[in-house]
Amino acid sequence: MGAEECIDHPAAQLTALWTALKTNKERDKLKDNLHEAAYLYGDRIFTEGDPVEYLFYLHSGKVKMYREGVGGRSHITRLIRPGQFFGIRPFFANKHTQTTAVAYEQNVEIFKINVDAIKMLLDNNTQVCHYFLEALSLELELAEERTISLTQKHIRGRLAETLLMLIKHYGFEADGATLAINLSRGDLAAMSNMTTSNAIRTLSLFSNERIIALNGRKIRIINLDGLDRISQLG
C-alpha cells in the first residue's frame, strides 16, 4: 500500500492514534484489525457484561453509555462525541464491559479495533500508551467533576451544569443558540440525578426565567451567563 493509499485508509482518520504510530508494521497492524460499522438510533453497540473484544472509536454521530442502577433505573455515564474512543476502561482493567452503549442518532459510524492489535501497539510503542493514558485521565477527571456536582448541588444547579456540559460537548446548531443534541426529558433527568418530573418542572422554570427556550426536545440557550451563574451557585 502506497503512502497516498495509506493516508486515505479509514485508520488514518483516528488522527492522534495514527500519528503516534512509528513504523509501517504498526500501521499495517492497525489497518488489518480495524472494522467499520454503522448503527441506527437505538442500536446496541455493546451490552453490560459483554467480554471485551474491541475498542470503539466514534467517527460520526452520537453514542450514549449507561449503566443499570438501583430499582432498574438506568444512569447515563457518558455521552460520546465524534473523535473519542469509548469502551476502553474494562479493557485496561481486564474486566467485562460495565456499561451498555447505544447509538443516539439516526446514523452512527464507528471504527472497531481488535484488542489484540491494541495490545501489540501498547507493548511496542510508548506514545500509544501515553495516548490512552491521557484519554483515561480525562474520563476520570470528568467523572470526578460530575460526582461532586451530583452529590453537592441542588436540582437547579445540577440541571444547569448538565446543560453547560452538553454545550461544551456538542456545541450549538447553525443558529448559535440551540443545543446540537436532542435529549429526552428522561435522559436529561438521568444525567442530572433527578426524577423526570423534576427535570420537566426545572426546565419550565428556566424557560419562565428566560434562561432557555423550549421547542419539543430542542433547547435554545437565551442567557448563557445566567445558566452558568445557576450552576456556580449550586
Query: Each residue of 187-210: pLDDT tens digit?
Result: 999 888 889 999 999 999 999 999
CB neighbours of residue 39 within 10 Å: 20
Q: With contact defined as beta carbons under 8 Å apart, do 29 and 37 qualify?
A: no
Task: Answer yes or no: is pLDDT of 15 > 90.
Answer: no
Q: Classify 214 as helix, strand or coil.
A: strand
**CATH 2.60.120.10 domain position(s) in the chain:** 3-149
Q: Where in the chain do CATH 1.10.10.10 domains reside?
A: 153-233
| Element containing residue 65 per DSSP (H, E) | strand 63-68
Do 87 and 51 meet the contact criterion of CB atoms below 8 Å apart? no
The arrangement of secondary structure in 3-149, i.e. its CATH architecture, is Sandwich (2.60)
Q: Which of 159, 144, 150 is nearest to 203 (CA)?
A: 159
State the pTM of this model: 0.83
Backbone angles phi, psi at 167, to 5 degrees: -60, -45
Q: Rounded to whole angstroms, how far apart are CA atoms 164 and 185?
A: 16
Residue 8 binned pLDDT confidence (cut-offs 50, 70, 90)? low
Task: Read off the amino acid at residue 114.
Answer: N
Instruction: Indicate the class that CATH gives domain 153-233.
Output: mainly alpha
- Residue showing cell 474494562: 90
Residues 17-55 pLDDT 10s: 888 888 999 999 999 999 999 999 999 999 999 999 999
